Structure 1
């Protein structure tokens, strides 16, 4: 298998594999945790294949995904990867997600992630969700200190609005913004993607396969385990799946014509958005990882792109990405900084 090519992410010199690996599903949210030894073998296979940009978060598990990656990177593997993790989300005593961007919490999270990952420095540290109670300048000020102290190399934001990105970038350069971008999540194209490009910020696309829907279609929904949080998401509710399956069917038809799978076509579409975009599809299976790498060989002509974008227009999908309670860029405004 040919090695995955490299790309510059953002304007600060950070280099990553052109496709990353989202590690969340190995430990949490998409059903029960997978066997540790199998996931470590998968991570090593990804690295050997050239997929070296690994994505985790302290909230995955919580904590167990970072611990898994820490184990996987022992014995010389750490130097072969670009490691991204995140802070900002936590579970309250009532079990509801809370967001915190207080400086003391930022530092506490960073120190804890370094310990769990068993590393000295995090390559890319994202604010996972924006705390709407704390001016972004305050949160960024602490992240800037962590860079100066050598605890993190680069700063990222996830699910941030265009105005939040601008304000944060004015405090310290943002290297990457992570956002949901796929054939069935395209609303970021209007404002956020152009803002990132204007400021020279790299774009990391999570869930580029529509949380698996663009790979498997409605059949996947029937196999959800009780622990699978996708059951809560409106797009996977039965009345919406009945509508959304049309997109999967059309994508599958085009993929058959192009001689690839629907997943490869959907992933290739994200890759074709520009050389500043790095998708991070997650998987727990070696064959899926290899298939995702195969998407890099799928060439799409302008007419292919146009056809895909017509069938998957921004308003074609039924159901919101999240239920209320999961903050997204649409409500990530923070208070003005007061002196």
Structure 2
């Protein structure tokens, strides 16, 4: 695929201009399936830069991801070309399940120092609270992140898993550049009342929406319709209900129907899903991930898919009328979504 300038969008109201589509690095470190060799992964990262895909998203719990990036930065000297996002707060237990959340100010600072050391850099472009603990006031978390920003260790603040009320309180302390949530054509929770209309709140406040799992963890692909993941070879089948054997055939049928819209536009199912997200507004930044150059190029090609308003409306009518079998994520993850944190009684509405 020939290199060309990446389309840019402003990350938040007054944020930096970054590629409209990011690159999620979780899978590159073997979270789903076997981990490729360093050389194979370096080739993927090298090619991402060649394409212009330089908005990279990692976290301190994504296997060896931060260490891998440190080795890549040392190898290439291209740290300055990457807009790098990382995260803190999740405590991971056995089987990669969420054991707990520590969004305290003390842990925020300690985790940031550890990430900087692993990454081999002195700053992180976008630093998220990966989730927030309802017992920890968001004001405490934000004060710590604002101090890290003032020290130059992070350049932009992000949040994940928060409610609209928590987000508004966070913004009273310091600017929030981005909120990250799951969003895809079949996962529209952030639009709905059950999510406290979070998307509407982000638009009102001028906050970017970074969309993880924009391809439904690979479900919105031709590979899924051809052959679903097996329990033995793919951890998704055991962790995510939509991939279970009893749900796979029915879900694959719906995805094949979704593919009909892609066929009309002359693109792949994955490209249609990403183009549809991008069409929802300039505040949207999908961050698909992959371990393979082939799919990296395919995903990047979604930026060339032009959907009309009618195209987008047709897709929305279809997905709102379709019902996939099983939840998109593990049942336990619901407890960490759209969280209202404890009020900070001592210093409410403080702004640094």
Q: Rate the CA distance shift 1:224–1:112 in 2: closer, same or farther, 3 A.
A: same
Q: Does 1:73 align with 2:73?
A: yes
Give yes or no for contact 2:229–2:237 (8 Å, CA) kept in 1. no
- For 1:59, the equivalent position in structure 2 comes to 61
Deviations 1:85-136 (A, max 9, x none): 0000113589752110111111110000000000000000001011112111
Given that 1:203 and 1:278 are in contact with CA atoms closer than 8 Å, whether structure 2 keeps it comes out as: yes
The farther-off stretch of 96-105 and 236-245 is 236-245
CA distance in 2: counterparts of 1:336 and 1:326, whole angstroms: 23
Shift of 1:319: 2.0
Query: Which residue of 22, 35, 38 maps to 2:37?
Result: 35
Q: Which stretch of the first structure deviates more once superposed, 135-144 or 221-230?
A: 221-230
TM-score (ref. length: structure 2): 0.90
Q: Name 1:49's counterpart in structure 2.
A: 51
Cα RMSD for the two superposed structures: 1.9
> Secondary structure at the residue paired with 1:120?
coil
- Contact kept, 8 Å, 1:30 with 1:230, in 2: the verdict is no
Take 1:330 and 1:152, find their aligned partners in 2: how far apart are those partners? 24
> How many angstroms does 1:239 deviate by?
2.8
Matches of 1:176 and 1:319, distance apart in 2: 29
Residue of structure 2 in register with 1:168 after alignment: 170
Deviates more, 1:141-150 or 1:8-17: 8-17
Q: Which runs of 5+ in 1 are unaligned?
A: none
State the alpha-carbon separation in 2 of the partners of residues 268 and 331 from structure 1: 26
Aligned to 2:109: 107
Of 293, 304, 311, which residue of structure 1 is paired with 2:300?
Answer: 293
Secondary structure at the aligned position of 1:32 is classed as coil
Cα deviations by residue, 1:163-209 (Å, 9 ceiling, x for unpaired): 22111111111000111111111111231111001000011111111
Tell me how far apart the structure 2 counterparts of residues 123 and 243 of structure 1 sit (CA, whole Å): 41
Aligned residues: 337
Equivalent residues in 2 for 1:1-339, closer than 5 Å: 1=2, 2-61=4-63, 64-74=64-74, 75-92=76-93, 97-190=99-192, 191-215=197-221, 216-223=223-230, 225-226=232-233, 228-313=235-320, 316-327=323-334, 330-339=337-346
Q: Which residues of structure 2 form unaligned runs of 5+?
A: 347-352
Comparing 108-117 with 217-226, which one deviates more in the overlay? 217-226
Q: Residue 69 of structure 2: SS of its match in structure 1? A: helix
Kept after mapping to 1: 8 A contact 2:54/2:83 = yes
Aligned-partner Cα distance in 2 for 1:254–1:297? 16
